[in-house]
A and B are shown apart, each in its own frame.
Chain A
Amino acid sequence: MTGFVLKRLGSALLVLLALSVLVYALFYVAPGDPARLACGERCNPQQIAQVREQLGLNAPVVTQYLHFLQGLLAGRDYSGGAGLVLHCDAPCLGFSYQNDRQVTELLLERLPATLSLALGSLVIWLVVGVGTGLLSALRRGGPTERVLTVLTLAATGTPVFILGLLLLMAVCAYLQWLPFPTYVPFGEDPEQWAWNLLLPWVTLGVFESAKYARLTRSSTLETLAEDHIRTFRAYGVGERRIVTRHAVRGAVAPVIALSAVDFGTMIGGAVLTESLFGIPGLGKTLIDGVRVVDLPVVVGVVLAIGTAVVLAGAVADLLYALADRRVTLT
């Protein structure tokens, strides 16, 4: 177990290192001169040269990358010109070109919104998805299953922004049950936080739940066809108990494993939902960063997403082993 955690951590670090090399290469592959971008449009060549010096862009590429790594692990200092020194603490991802704020600070500020969105939709897709899947496995061949299959397919086939837009128009514009959502941090007002996130949660949750419904249905049916189910039928155990106690267990392991991975992806992947509902999360930060070629921000968000996905993968393996004791982690 400890061996597994250590091994997993080691490989996670390797993945992140490789990812950091890739995104750092962005600096050089991306169009435009980083110094010019950082300095702004109205800079003269001297000012640009000065910025280039401050950012250490004159050093060889490898040295620059090592400085970047050093900043991540131990923090680094930037000279702000005229003897001024800007210090950037340990996980240092540099400063945003846009507003000269520390990228790390920016990410930490945006993370709660993303986590709020991901957690809420996780709950919805687990409840709706697994519930729908179980119901259609139980009513297989009947009208209930056919209706559920159509709904599932419709939810899979509708792009998430269409779904969100339809919900917005229906709930906020026509019915006016809810005001148009604006993000309220949980710390400020938990009730407003929940009301404002309700639509994004439903949008993302319903969209994702289609996948989980199909997964749950197929793995439940698969388990129902296994020999040990026959054993309990042959011993007079009732059908409902067979499904709730024995068949569901077989379906649980893949569902939680996939959920963990999806949750990790959602940290950076809910771009469309975040943009649509104006949630100031990581996805929206990434899009905004790309639009104005704010390279440090882009690099920072990509690394954060990478970390989340890698961690989620490890957590998925752990959960899988907990759900199915036959699995041993090595």
Chain B
Amino acid sequence: MTDHLVDVTDLAVDFPVGAPGSYVRAVDGVSFTLSAGRALGIVGESGSGKSTVAAALLGLHRGTGARLTGSVRVGGTDPATASPAALRALRGGTAAMVFQDPLSSLDPYHAIGDQIAEVYRVHTTATRRAARARAVEVLDRVGIPDAARRSRARPHEFSGGMRQRALIAMALACRPRLLVADEPTTALDVTVQAQILDLLHGLREEHGLALLLVTHDVGVAAESVDDLLVMREGRVVERGPVGEVLTTPTAAYTRALLAAVPRLDAAPNPAPPGGTPGRSPGEVEALGSGRSPGNGGRAGRGPAPQGNDTAPTLEATALRKEFGRGKRKVTAVEDVSLILHPGETLGIVGESGSGKSTLGRILVGLLPPTAGEVRHAGAAPATGIAPGAQMVFQDPVSSLNPRRSIGESIADPLRAAGERDGSAVRRRVEELLVRVGLEPGHYDRYPHEFSGGQRQRVGIARALAPRPRLIVCDEPVSALDVTTQAQVTALLAEIQRDLGIALVFIAHDLAVVRQVSDRVAVMRAGRVVEEGPVDEVYGRPAHPYTRRLLDAVPVLDPLLAARRRSARQEVYA
């Protein structure tokens, strides 16, 4: 057993909650081994305990009040009981952690090179100058251009992808034998994600590092690991070589998880896994009606009703939006024209900073365009929020007022529209709650009592309240787990079919957009570089940028992933 770099046996972690002496079990009986040069992926949805396992490898639970049982050995050291000196040597020296959010994981006050040098000096007797040189060396290795100069920059001067590279550089600095990467690409665009995964892959080959990759994205794991562990509610439900787990999953949960992953190729999505445990009855019931989102979304509705006589729900012409003045002027949206008909869904995809959210805000009238005009249902362009247009926001946590009951939040647009009759408002809100798969009794509950998926349902109910003709959804599912994602997109499709409203679906996830949209517009640097029916854009992308985006999307087939990785490396070489 000692030949394994990492040896975890029967690990259980309990976190203290509420009253002293009461605990909740986050990880329950997890065992695995990992040898040098191998890569193990742990996948699971939020709350499955995957990050808790990763943190245990570095003894990060020490001093937090968490209770660990079972045994963990990393390079022969038990991080839970090691002496402080041995623990410090382990952390960063033997095993280095690459954290998730590269913005908050670096000290904003110090230069990046200094931070890496500091870590290096903790583990070596290097001089200040030598440590600084090592920092530049590793920054250069992870592909930071002009590393010597850029090492003096502070984190906020780096882009998200560069910060993630810097964190990997910090991990490499002390030549560890194990990299523990906790959601290393979650905050990144697909093209950057592909680069980071390629980098991790390259480092593994070059230095014979072992990699433990924790991710919620099965596609990310498929590309990067040899073996896979599927976790759910603290337990391992399935394990095996990645190809086997992904192609012939044995556990029902793994099958459900894989089925819920939106795919670029298969157009209609199979039914989302019903009865996902841990969700509230309301959410499950909504699923129980057993409709598949793909069918609801597109099939069965036929081609988008283009060219019919009714006025388009939305007509945007030559939109342009600038922020700032003079030298600081930034053009966020440039020359965008769109038409949207009733009952149609237009997907807008693009990477961060492409202007897709700004465009969405202009479409509902939250932002005035600098030039161009937006017409709703043929009406003259108006200023202010367009009547009949609503928005569903990304973050279902922060877009609901935590101090007001969800019923009150849903009632807001009704009251704003002039409804004064209290019992009528309540009736309508209860109707809406049922409509989105919640219960009328939820009126008086508060946002914190709901799961992420349920909160997004509340957001949708709020958007539906004033009976809009158009709903703009800005990343409506990107904060949700895949199974919940599938449920929410199914709900949107169903509502659209029943009410005939037009949807604008803004997302960075190309697969989700494909699943729900009739037409798709690809945005880059404020412009729409390609627009057309989904099958055409995804099947025969005309613009090179669209092709690059599609190539960067992780695929579930490890063999295909490897082929595409080598293709990418040839392109970049």
Which A residues are within 8 Å of any B CB, using their own CB?
Answer: 226-228, 230-238, 245-246, 249-250, 324-326
Contacts and interface: CB of A to CB of B under 8 A. Distances in A.
B123 to A, nearest CB: 7
A326 B156 contact: yes
B91 A250 contact: no
A236 B99 contact: no
B340 interface: no
Contacts of A232: 107, 115, 118-119
A230 B91 CA distance: 12
Top 8 closest pairs, chain A to chain B, by CB: A236-B88, A235-B92, A236-B91, A227-B104, A249-B109, A235-B119, A228-B107, A234-B97
B96 A246 contact: no
Interface string B89-117: 11111001101010011111110000100
Nearest to B157: A325
B105 A230 contact: yes
A44 B473 CA distance: 83
Majority SS at the chain A contact face:
helix
Given A231-B105, A234-B60, A325 B154 contact: yes
Interface in B18-63: 58, 60
B106 to A, nearest CB: 5
Interface of B: 58, 60, 87-93, 96-97, 99, 101, 104-110, 115, 118-119, 122-123, 154, 156, 167, 170
A23 to B, nearest CB: 37
Nearest to A228: B107
Contact of A233 (B91, B106, B110): B91
Contact of A236 (B89, B105, B110): B89
Contacts of A230: 60, 99, 105
Given A234-B92, A238-B88, A250-B109, 12 more contacts: A233-B60, A234-B97, A235-B91, A235-B92, A235-B96, A236-B92, A237-B119, A245-B118, A249-B107, A249-B110, A325-B109, A326-B154
A236 B106 CA distance: 15
A238 B88 CA distance: 8
A238 B123 CA distance: 11
B87 A236 contact: yes
Contacts of B154: 325-326
A238 B167 CA distance: 19
Contacts of A237: 88, 118-119, 122
A238 to B, nearest CB: 7
Nearest to B96: A235
**Residue of B105, B106, B107, B170 with most partner-chain A CB within 10 A:** B107
B99 A227 contact: yes
A325 B105 contact: no
Contacts of B96: 234-235
Given A235-B122, A237-B119, A227 B91 contact: no
B38 to A, nearest CB: 22
A226 to B, nearest CB: 6
Contact of A228 (B87, B89, B108, B122): B108
A238 B99 CA distance: 19
A203 to B, nearest CB: 34
Contacts of A231: 97, 99, 105-107, 167, 170
Contacts of A250: 109
Nearest to B93: A236
A326 B105 contact: no
Contacts of B110: 245-246, 249
6 contacts: A231-B105, A231-B170, A235-B170, A236-B92, A236-B119, A246-B107
**Residue of B93, B104, B154 with most partner-chain A CB within 10 A:** B104
Nearest to B55: A234
Contacts of B105: 227-228, 230-231
